[in-house]
Amino acid sequence: MSIAENIAQVRASIAAAAREAGRDPGEILLVGASKMNDAAACREAVAAGIDALGENRVQEMTAKLAENAYAGAPLHFIGHLQRNKVKQVAGKADLIQSVGSLELLDEIEKTAARLETVQDILLEVNIGQEAAKSGFPPAEVLSAAQAALERSHVRTLGLMAIPPADASREENLRYFDKVRALFIDMNEKLFHNGLQHLSMGMSGDYQDAIRAGATMVRVGTAIFGSRHYT
């Protein structure tokens, strides 16, 4: 199957899940998680109408940017971002989905201010409260959103979450519901219901995520095939 065929199949599954949930499939953005796939694969995805491409590693993103891999589609940064690499990402990625600490928020604010730009972000919530994962604990999401509102060079568009990898389907659904509840709460209390994006769901669970309210799914394997780690 080609990348274009895979995208068409994922789109059909997205539409089916959206319809089941009584939602408009057009409101769900498909982000291709293109880590470990080369510039040619990214271009293929863009030609096939992917809504955005998401990268995990700064070095890989920088190299592929130099090859014009993302021309024609927005670029998202979706991986763990270290503070000392913010300069390579802020102002280059259209959306940084993985803002999971106040230190990182401050660094992005500082860099965006220097560039005289406003960086769009999602706040990442560590919904499973996993020690090894970044993201705000659920109880701190509201204060993090308040902190983001007080910084004029970042604009919060919503929340991102990755439930624990070992969760059962039932547990996963509960995590998605919890993220949605946090999203609704912060949207109402701090953003006049103007937030647009709830990013959750990957190749194995994007239909469940859509039924749970996701507006953005990040799909790698189902589009690009399995990744070969060396």
Site of interaction with ligand PLP (CB under 6 A): 33, 35, 56, 78-79, 162, 202-204, 218-222
Q: How far is CA 134 from the centre of its chain?
A: 14
Tell me the two tokens of residue 227.
Answer: 């990744």
Tell me the two tokens of residue 38.
Answer: 């080369």
Only one residue has tokens 């219901």, namely 193
Q: Please report how close the Cβ of residue 151 comes to ligand PLP at its closest, in angstroms.
A: 23
**Burial class of residue 3, CB neighbours in 10 A (0-12, 13-18, 19+):** buried
Q: Please report how close the Cβ of residue 22 comes to ligand PLP at its closest, in angstroms.
A: 25
In the bound state with ligand PLP, the residue whose beta carbon lies nearer, of 62 and 134, is: 134
In the bound state with ligand PLP, the residue whose beta carbon lies nearer, of 114 and 227, is: 227
In the bound state with ligand PLP, the residue whose beta carbon lies nearer, of 97 and 119, is: 97
Q: What is the per-residue burial (b if ≥16 Cβ within 10 Å, else e) of 44-72?
A: bbbebebbbbbbbbbebbeebbeeebbee
The residue number with the shortest CB distance to ligand PLP is 220
In the bound state with ligand PLP, the residue whose beta carbon lies nearer, of 105 and 219, is: 219
Q: Please report how close the Cβ of residue 24 comes to ligand PLP at its closest, in angstroms.
A: 23
